[in-house]
Amino acid sequence: MPVARMLQQVVGQMPGRPACGCWTSAPLARFLGTSPRQIPADANFYSSSFSGTDQPRVLITGGLGQLGVGLANFLRKRFGKDNVILSDIRKPPDHIFHSGPFIYSDILDYKNLREIVVNNRITWLFHYSALLSAIGEANVSLARAVNITGLHNVLDVAAEHNLRLFVPSTIGAFGPTSPRNPTPDICIQRPRTIYGVSKVHAELMGEYYHYRYGLDFRCLRYPGIISADSQPGGGTTDYAVQIFHDAVKNGKFECNLKSSTRLPMMYIDDCLRATLEVMEAPAESLSMRTYNVNAMSFTPEDLAQELLKHIPEFQITYNVDSVRQAIADSWPMNFDDSNARKDWGWKHDFDLPELVTTMLNFHGSDTRVAQAN
Ligand SMILES: NC(=O)c1ccc[n+]([C@@H]2O[C@H](COP(=O)([O-])OP(=O)(O)OC[C@H]3O[C@@H](n4cnc5c(N)ncnc54)[C@H](O)[C@@H]3O)[C@@H](O)[C@H]2O)c1
Ligand SMILES: C[C@@H](O)[C@H](N)C(=O)O
């Protein structure tokens, strides 16, 4: 009997085969030996699917960057401190190490990743490890390894252990041939950075694993994210983070993008809430697995004008970095996130004035703000 027909018969007899006839997830894949990764026959599988009544057991990769620590704090408030494990390849500062579970995890080491997932009974994985746009252009082979090979490891571990997987994508997944004002969810995506290429790859691979293996993959395309409690990590939108540090400390800022460069942006609190909301959304409400999310859109000049309302002596000068400028010029100016708003009720809280007030308060510029008012 032809192998294909034999397989069809075996598949037909397997419990849990979906009525739609599409491929089901890990058990079938393992049985047929078509798992994304070959697993020893005597492996003792632990099914960690999230029932919906338990608290999830969460792992965050690349957690010591701009966004991971905030995400860990946010999720710990919701799910309990010990249910959220932060991981990275860097050594955590004392206050982070003592704030909850931290573990070393190199996403390029597949066995290390699998061991962590198994030993800690992980059910949800937030995959934050990456090299961002500008630093990626300076380290293409490392960016390719971390952003693409690392993603493959994460996808395989998630599929094999039945995890719910969140992978952030970005406005950087679009390119100069995409519509820029606004940029819809579905349109041409031909980014010109290794970062963008790797993120389009992540979107497509995650959606493919969802279709092929039933992986519960969820992805948001974040705009530039602005947060007060972290240092910029090599991105093109980082000027909008650094400007607050410099405005409060020195009253001036040298911007590496042109004054008229418009990009979509979001305050960290909105970003973290969007991330949890899409992870908690009922599967049937998700008409897609990758969504644009947005809050505001501004230029360096708009941001400087808003800062001047609080710090009247603030000065901005421009010294354009050609690599970052070329990247920014190829990215969306406005993001159309109507599908996220329609499907799972996304709604942002912070526009530019609230963003600036909140960031200045965090940076301790109360005195300057008070003087200005
Ligand atoms: N910050 C933003 O504005 C923004 C916008 C859109 C999307 N995103 C996405 O959100 C995620 C988090 O962004 P971020 O700003 O915190 O990034 P970041 O650059 O600040 O942090 C990335 C982290 O990944 C870690 N890392 C690098 N190599 C690793 C490896 N081999 N194994 C494990 N960890 C490794 C780094 O040590 C670092 O702590 C990324 O995937 C990024 O693409 C961020
Ligand atoms: C937008 C985003 O993905 C990141 N902040 C970068 O500029 O690279």
Pocket of ligand 2 (CB under 6 A): 132-133, 170-172, 195, 224, 235-237
Which tens digit of pLDDT belongs to each residue from 325-362?
Answer: 999 999 999 999 999 999 999 999 999 999 999 999 99
Instruction: Please check whether residue 350 is in contact with residue 228, taking contact to mean a CB–CB distance below 8 angstroms.
Output: no
Q: Distance between CA atoms of 357 and 84, rounded to whole angstroms? A: 30
Q: What is the mean pLDDT of residues 20-47?
A: 41
Could you read off the pLDDT of 247-256 as tens digits, one per residue? 999 999 999 9
How many Cβ atoms sit within 10 Å of the Cβ of residue 280? 13
Q: Residue 195 catalytic?
A: yes
The dihedral region occupied by 52, where left means phi > 0, alpha psi between -120 and 50, and beta the remainder, is left
Under 8 Å between Cβ of 227 and 237: no
What is the rounded average pLDDT for all residues in the chain?
A: 88
Question: Which of the ligands is closest to the CA of residue 199?
Answer: 1
Q: Which two tokens mark 359?
A: 């960031």
CA 282 to each of CA 125, 207, 243, 348: distance values in angstroms, whole numbers, following the listed order: 17, 17, 39, 20
* Range from 1-5, 196-200, 206-210, 277-281 carrying the lowest mean pLDDT: 1-5
CA separation for the pair 63, 67 (Å, rounded): 7
CA of 134 to the centre of ligand 2 (A): 8
Identify the nearest ligand to the CA of 236 by its number: 2
Residue 31 has pLDDT above 50, yes or no: no
Q: Rounded to whole angstroms, how far apart are CA atoms 39 and 33?
A: 8
Could you give the angle at which helices 150-160 and 110-119 cross, rounded to 10 degrees? 30
Q: Please, what are the domains in the chain? A: 130-371 (3.40.50.720)
Catalytic pick among 104, 110, 128, 195: 195
Q: Which residue has the tokens 């942006």?
A: 265
Q: How far is the CA of 132 from the centre of ligand 2 (A)?
A: 6
Per DSSP bridges, beta strands 224-226 and 296-298 are unpaired
- Is any ligand 1 atom within 6 A of the Cβ of residue 90? yes
Tokens describing residue 11: 């598949």
Task: Average the pLDDT over 80-107 and give the result.
Answer: 97
Cross-strand partners of 291: 220
Q: What is the CA radius of gyration of the chain?
A: 22
Whether 294 is in the pocket of ligand 1, judged by its Cβ within 6 Å, is no
Q: CA–CA distance from 120 to each of 57, 166, 276, 361 (Å)?
A: 8, 18, 21, 38
pLDDT attached to residue 28: 38
Q: Output the pTM of the full model.
A: 0.88
Atom of ligand 1 nearest to the CA of 167: 41
Q: What is the ipTM of this complex?
A: 0.99
- Kindly tell me the sign of the dihedral angle through the C-alpha atoms of 264, 270, 275, 281: negative
- CA-to-CA distance for 101 and 164, rounded, in angstroms? 20
Can you tell me whether residue 274 is helix, strand or coil?
Answer: helix
Which atom of ligand 2 lies closest to the CA of 170? 3
Query: Do strands 169-170 and 102-104 pair parallel, antiparallel, or not at all (unpaired)?
Result: unpaired
* pLDDT over 80 at 13, yes or no: no
pLDDT for 232: 85
Residue with tokens 């409060």: 248
Sheet of 224-226, strands arranged across: 224-226, 263-267, 296-298
Average pLDDT over residues 134-160: 98
SS3 assignment, position 281: coil
CB-ligand 1 contact for 85 (6 Å cutoff): no
Q: Give yes or no for residue 189 having a pLDDT over 80.
A: yes
Q: Please tell me the distance between residue 15's alpha carbon and the centre of ligand 1 in angstroms.
A: 40
Cα 118 to middle of ligand 2, angstroms: 32
Take atom 12 of ligand 1 and give the residue whose Cα is closest: 128
**pLDDT of 154 above 80:** yes
Pocket test for ligand 1, best of 64, 67, 105, 152 (most atoms within 8 A of CB): 67
The CB of 292 under 6 Å from ligand 1? The reply is no
For the chain, what percent of residues have pLDDT higher than 90? Answer: 81
The predicted pLDDT at position 193 comes to 98
DSSP E strand boundaries for the chain: 58-61, 84-88, 102-104, 124-127, 164-166, 169-170, 216-222, 224-226, 252-255, 263-267, 290-292, 296-298, 315-318
